[in-house]
Structure 1
Amino acid sequence: MDSTSSPSEPEPTASAGLDSAADVDSPAPLCDDRRLATDRVLPSWTEPMITQLSTSIGGPVGVHAAVGRSRHWTPLRVVFLIALAVLALGWFGKAGCIQQTTVDGQPGQSRLDWDDQRQFYGLCYSNIVAGYSENRLTPHDLAEGAAPYRTFWNTDGEKKYLEEPVVTGAFMYVVAQASRGWGSLTEAIGLPRALDVVNYFNIAAVLLALGWLIAIWATMRTRRRDPWVVALIAVSPLVLVHAFTAFEVLPVMFTALAMYAWSRDRMKLTGLFIGLGAATAFYPVLLLVAIGLLCVRERRVRDSLVVAAAAVLSWAVINIPVAVIYPSGWGAWFTAWRDAAAGPDSVYRLITQMTGWEPSAVLVTALVFALMIAVVAGVTYLAMRSPREPRLPALMFLLVAGALLIGKDWRPETSLWLVPLAVLAIPHRRVLLAWMTFDALLWVPRMALFLEPDRKWLPVEFFYIVSAARWLMVAGLCAYVVWEMAKPVLVRPAPAQHLLRSPAG
C-alpha cells in the first residue's frame, strides 16, 4: 500500500476476508490485485481422503496461500476438463453399438453390427440407437413428412406414437434432421459416409455432453463457496455408463438451471426452467413442491406463486399446441406409462419375486400415486418441523429419490437424476462414490436379462438381489438426509450477516 494513502479512506477490496487494504500490515507493497477467495471451502482441509491424496503433490493448501488468483486453471475449467474426459470414455463405452458391417449379398451397403446380441453382451446398449428407426426418424421417414406425435405406426395391431415428452421429442427430431443434413453434406463433398444412425447418435452425444457441462456449470454456480464438490458430479460412474444411454441429461440440465436461478432469486427464470424440465421428464415438477415448502416456511408465498405461474405458463406454451393438434400422439407418453406393468427394476417386481404376488398394471399405477402423495406429505412434515433451515437440494433429493423408490419402472439411466442432488445434499464423498459405483455396475446384470439362455453370464436372481441392494442404498441415503434435517441445532456463534441465507436454500 502506498505510504501516502489516508487510513480514513481505505481502498475497496473484492476479498471477503479483508475489510480494507488499511487493515493489512505488510513489510512490502501489496499486489495491485488483492482478490482472494477467502470464503472458499478447500477440500484438502475438509476431506480426509483428499488430504491424504494431496500429500503426493506437496500436501494441503498452505495457510497463507492466495486462493482464487489463477487466471487459467480455475475450478470450473478443471472440472470441465475432468467431465470431458469422463464423457469421452462414456462415448467409447457406447461405440461398440455403432460399429458397422457389410450387408450380405449387397456390396457397398452397410448396417449396424448388432449380431449375436452384441448390444447386450457388449454392455453398449443405448435407447438413442435402438429408437432411431423405431420412432421413424430415418432420412426416408423424414423425407415422407414423418414428425413426432403426428406419425404413428402399427405394432401388433395397435397404434404407436413417439412415447416421449414434447421437449425430448423435439430434441430427437432436431437431431434426426441434423444427421440427415450431415449425411447429405458428406455425400455431396465426397467424404466417406457413415450410417445415418451413427450420425444421429454422435450428434445427440455431442449435444447431451454440452447439456451435462451446462448442468455442471449451473451446479457449481449454485454452490459458489464449495466449487470442488461438483468434481464428484463430473467423475460419477453413473455418468460414465449412462450419459448416452438415453436422454436423461436433458431434465438434469433444466433442473440444475432452475436451482441456480432460484439461488440468484430469479423467480420467473426458475419457473421457466422448471416448465422446460417438466416437458422432458416428470421429476422437475417436484421442484415446485420443494420451493413451495421453503417459501411457506420463510413466509415468501408470493415468490412460490411467481415460480409456479412461470412454470405452468412455459409448460403450457410448449405443450398445448401439440396437444391440440395431435392429442393422441401427445398423450401417448402418459398412456404408455399408465398402462405399463411394473418394470424389472421396481420394488413391485422385487415383491413379486419374493412372494409370487403379481399386481395388475392398474393396481400398480394406483399404488404409485398413493405412495407419491405419502412421500410428498412426509417431506412436507419434515420441512415444516425441521429445527434447521431446509435446503433445496436436500428436499429435492428426498422427493426424487422417493419417486424412484416407489416408481413402477426405475430404469438404470434415471439414476442420473439423483447425481447432482445427492452431491449437494450429502457431504460424505466416499459414501456417494460407493453408491454411484454400485448403481452403475447394476448395468451388467441388467443387460444379462436380455441375453439368450446360452449366453447368460449371470442368473436372473442375481439381478434382483443387486437391485434390492440398490434400493436399500438409496433408502439409506434418504434416511441420512432426514436425520440431518431432523437433528437438533447446536448452539453456535452467530454467523456473519452475508452468510445467513444459503444460496441453495
Structure 2
Amino acid sequence: MVPSWSDRVVAQASEAFGGPWGRHAVTGRALFWTPLRICLLFTVAVLALAWAKQDPCADGNWTGSKQYTHFCYSDTVPLFGLRGLADGSVPYLDSPLEYPVLTGGFMWVAAWVARGYDQLTQSVGVLPAVVPVQSYYVVTCLLLSVCALLTTRAVLGLAGRRPWDAAMVGLSPLLFVHAFTNWDLFAVALSTLGLWAWARRRPALAGVLIGLGVAAKLYPVLLLGVLLVLCLRAGMLRAWATAAAGAAVAWLAVNVPIAVLARENWLEFFTLNSSRPADPDTIWNLALTATDNRLFDGPLAPGQTPSELNAVIAVGLVLLAAAVGWLALAAPVRPRVAQLAFLLVAGFLLVNKVWSPQYSLWLLPLAVLARPSWRALLLWQATEALLWVPRLLWYLGTDNKGVDVGWFFLAVGIRDVAVLVLVALVVRDVWDPARDLVRRSWPGTDDPAGGVLDGAADRFTLRRRPQVDPTPPSIDQLS
C-alpha cells in the first residue's frame, strides 16, 4: 500500500517532493533506502530534535526554573542525585526507588556507564569532561534512543504489508516531546517487541518480552488480558498459556531476587501507587478541584491513602475490562490485537488516577497499529504536545510569568477528548470491519499482528448475527 495513494495528509505532504507516487513508478528495487531504514532515519531525526530541546537541562543547572521556561524538564536529572545514583548506590539494595525493578536496573546501568566515561575522561585528556549528572543524562538518552529505534522496527514488523505506518512512530510529535522525559520508552520497546514476537508465532518469546515489560512498567500486563480474550474467541488458549507462563517466569526472575534481598525497598513502587493522590492531569483531579475536594475521601493529609478514590478506580477498571472483553467477543469479526490493546490501554489511562505526561508514549505504537491515519494521530499528538506547555508554565507559577491552573485544565480536557475520539474511531472500526484501514488496504488481510490468531476461525463468541466476511473490500473496491 502506497501511503500517498491512500492517506490525504501524506498526499498533501508529498507535493513538496513532486507529488504522490506515480502509477507506473518502480518500487521495491532500492539497494539501501528501504522503508525500514527510512523510518529509522525519521526516528533518528526526531530524537536529534528532542535532544536539542532537552540540551539546556542536561547539566542539571536549573537556576531560574530553566526546566520550565525551556520546556526541558526530565525526571532523570533530579533523580540522579535524589536516589543515590550519583554516589554509586544500587537501586533497591542501597536506596528505595519508586519504579519497577527493571527500570531501576536501567537507571543503574546508565549510571555505571556514565561513571566509566567520567573516569576515562580523567585518564584520557582528549575526551570532553562534563559534570557527572550530564554524562549520566547523555547515556540515558542514548539508551532511550535505542529503545525508540527498536519500537519503530517492531511496529514496522507488526504492520504487515503497510511498512510505511512505522513512519508515524518515527515522525511522532509525542516522541519529540517526551522521548527523554522519563524511562517509559524502555517498557514501550519491550512490550512492542513482545507483540512482534507474538506476530511471528513465538508465544513463549512474546511472553518473556511482555513479562520484562511488566517488570519495567506495569501497563504491559494489559496486553496479556487482550491476548487472553482474543485467544478465547479463537479457541487458542494453549498459545496464550505459553505466553502467560513466559511472562510470569520473566517477571519472577527479575523481581524475586530483589524482593528477597530488599523487601521494603522493593515494595516502594506498590506502596506509592496505592497512597498517592490523583495526578494533576487526570479526570479525578478535575472532579476534585471542581468540587473543592468534597468528593471521595475529601482533603487528604500528607501520605494519607485515598481509599475511596482507589475503590472507585478499581471498580472503573473492572468495568473497563468487562467492556473491552465483551466487545472482543461480540464484534462481528474478531478484533485485531492492536485495536483491542489500544482500547484497553487508552481506557486504563483515562480511568486511572495517574497519567504522567510521558505515559502517553504507551499509546503511540498501539494507536499507529490500531488506526494508521496520519490526520487522526497527528491531531491527538498535537493535544499531547500542547498539554506539556501549560503544565510546565503552571508549575512555573503566575508570579513568574506562568499561567493559571485553568489553562492547564483546559489543555487536559482537550487531550482527553482527543483520546476519546480515537477510542470511538477504533470501536467503530471493530464494529464495522469494512472501515478498518488495515483490513481494507490489502485483499485477504486479517490481522498482521495476530500471529496464531491471523485468519483463525471463531470458536466462542457472543455474537447473535451471522458472521461477517473477515476480509472487507479493498480501497479500490470501495472507490
**1:189 corresponding residue in structure 2:** 124
The yes-or-no answer on 1:53 pairing with 2:13 is yes
**2:378 corresponding residue in structure 1:** 433
CA distance in 2, matches of 1:51, 1:471: 29
Choose which of 126, 143, 167 in structure 1 pairs with 2:102: 167
Deviation at 1:44, TM superposition (A): 1.4
Question: 1:33-62 deviations in whole A, cap 9, x for unaligned?
Answer: xxxxxxxx1011111222233344333323
Q: 1:183 to 1:296 in 2, by over 3 A?
A: same
The one-letter code matched in structure 1 to 2:84 is: R
The one-letter code matched in structure 2 to 1:127 is: D
Q: 1:168 to 1:393 in 2, by over 3 A?
A: same
The yes-or-no answer on 1:117 pairing with 2:117 is no
Q: RCO higher in 1 or 2 (8 Å CA, sep ≥ 6)?
A: 2
Computing the radius of gyration from Cα coordinates, the structure with the larger value is 1
The yes-or-no answer on 1:150 pairing with 2:93 is yes
**2:84 corresponding residue in structure 1:** 136
Deviation at 1:481, TM superposition (A): 1.2
CA distance in 2, matches of 1:234, 1:439: 16
**2:36 corresponding residue in structure 1:** 76
The yes-or-no answer on 1:203 pairing with 2:146 is no
Q: 1:501 to 1:484 in 2, by over 3 A?
A: closer
Which runs of structure 2 are paired with 1:290-329 in the superposition (5 Å)? 290-329=226-265
Q: 1:98 to 1:52 in 2, by over 3 A?
A: closer
CA distance in 2, matches of 1:489, 1:80: 31
Question: 1:374-404 deviations in whole A, cap 9, x for unaligned?
Answer: 1110000000000022101111101110110
The yes-or-no answer on 1:464 pairing with 2:409 is yes
Choose which of 112, 117, 123 in structure 2 pairs with 1:177: 112
Q: 1:480 to 1:298 in 2, by over 3 A?
A: same
CA distance in 2, matches of 1:285, 1:362: 24
Q: Is the CA contact 2:279–2:285 (under 8 Å) kept in the aligned structure 1?
A: yes
Q: Give the CA RMSD over aligned residues.
A: 1.8
Q: Is the CA contact 2:397–2:403 (under 8 Å) kept in the aligned structure 1?
A: no
The one-letter code matched in structure 2 to 1:166 is: V
Q: 1:445 to 1:57 in 2, by over 3 A?
A: closer
Choose which of 268, 288, 308 in structure 2 pairs with 1:363: 308
After superposing the two structures, state which structure 1 stretch, 63-72 or 252-261, moved more.
63-72
Q: 1:46 to 1:452 in 2, by over 3 A?
A: closer
After superposing the two structures, state which structure 1 stretch, 436-445 or 199-208, moved more.
436-445
When the two structures are superposed, what TM-score results if normalisation uses the length of structure 2? 0.88
Deviation at 1:501, TM superposition (A): 4.1
Choose which of 450, 455, 460 in structure 1 pairs with 2:400: 455
**2:300 corresponding residue in structure 1:** none
CA distance in 2, matches of 1:315, 1:481: 31
Q: Is the CA contact 2:397–2:404 (under 8 Å) kept in the aligned structure 1?
A: no
Deviation at 1:86, TM superposition (A): 0.5
The one-letter code matched in structure 1 to 2:74 is: S
SS of aligned partner of 1:204: helix
CA distance in 1, matches of 2:17, 2:44: 23
Question: 1:168-222 deviations in whole A, cap 9, x for unaligned?
Answer: 0001011111111110110111244200000000001011001110010011011
**2:474 corresponding residue in structure 1:** none
**1:157 corresponding residue in structure 2:** none
The yes-or-no answer on 1:373 pairing with 2:323 is no
After superposing the two structures, state which structure 1 stretch, 46-55 or 190-199, moved more.
46-55
Which runs of structure 2 are paired with 1:226-265 in the superposition (5 Å)? 226-265=162-201
CA distance in 1, matches of 2:118, 2:20: 52
Deviation at 1:463, TM superposition (A): 0.4
CA distance in 2, matches of 1:262, 1:87: 28
Question: 1:442-463 deviations in whole A, cap 9, x for unaligned?
Answer: 1111112322442133111110
The one-letter code matched in structure 1 to 2:117 is: W
CA distance in 1, matches of 2:244, 2:405: 44
Q: Is the CA contact 1:387–1:489 (under 8 Å) kept in the aligned structure 2?
A: no
CA distance in 1, matches of 2:71, 2:433: 46
CA distance in 1, matches of 2:323, 2:159: 26
CA distance in 1, matches of 2:12, 2:176: 25
Question: 1:231-274 deviations in whole A, cap 9, x for unaligned?
Answer: 11111111111000000101110111011111111010110111
CA distance in 2, matches of 1:427, 1:500: 15
Aligned-pair identity (%): 38
The one-letter code matched in structure 2 to 1:135 is: R
CA distance in 1, matches of 2:422, 2:351: 15
CA distance in 2, matches of 1:242, 1:186: 30
Q: Is the CA contact 2:383–2:414 (under 8 Å) kept in the aligned structure 1?
A: no
* Equivalenced residues, count: 436
Q: 1:348 to 1:390 in 2, by over 3 A?
A: same
The one-letter code matched in structure 2 to 1:134 is: L
Runs of 4+ aligned structure 1 residues displaced above 4 Å come to: none
CA distance in 2, matches of 1:456, 1:348: 27
Q: Is the CA contact 2:181–2:358 (under 8 Å) kept in the aligned structure 1?
A: yes
CA distance in 2, matches of 1:443, 1:57: 32
**2:278 corresponding residue in structure 1:** 342
Q: Is the CA contact 1:222–1:503 (under 8 Å) kept in the aligned structure 2?
A: yes
CA distance in 1, matches of 2:16, 2:50: 28
CA distance in 2, matches of 1:335, 1:488: 43
Q: 1:98 to 1:58 in 2, by over 3 A?
A: closer
The one-letter code matched in structure 1 to 2:36 is: L
Q: Is the CA contact 1:264–1:503 (under 8 Å) kept in the aligned structure 2?
A: no
**1:477 corresponding residue in structure 2:** 422
CA distance in 1, matches of 2:382, 2:357: 12
Q: 1:488 to 1:317 in 2, by over 3 A?
A: closer
Deviation at 1:358, TM superposition (A): 4.4
**1:33 corresponding residue in structure 2:** none
After superposing the two structures, state which structure 1 stretch, 202-211 or 475-484, moved more.
475-484
The yes-or-no answer on 1:413 pairing with 2:348 is no
Deviation at 1:66, TM superposition (A): 2.9
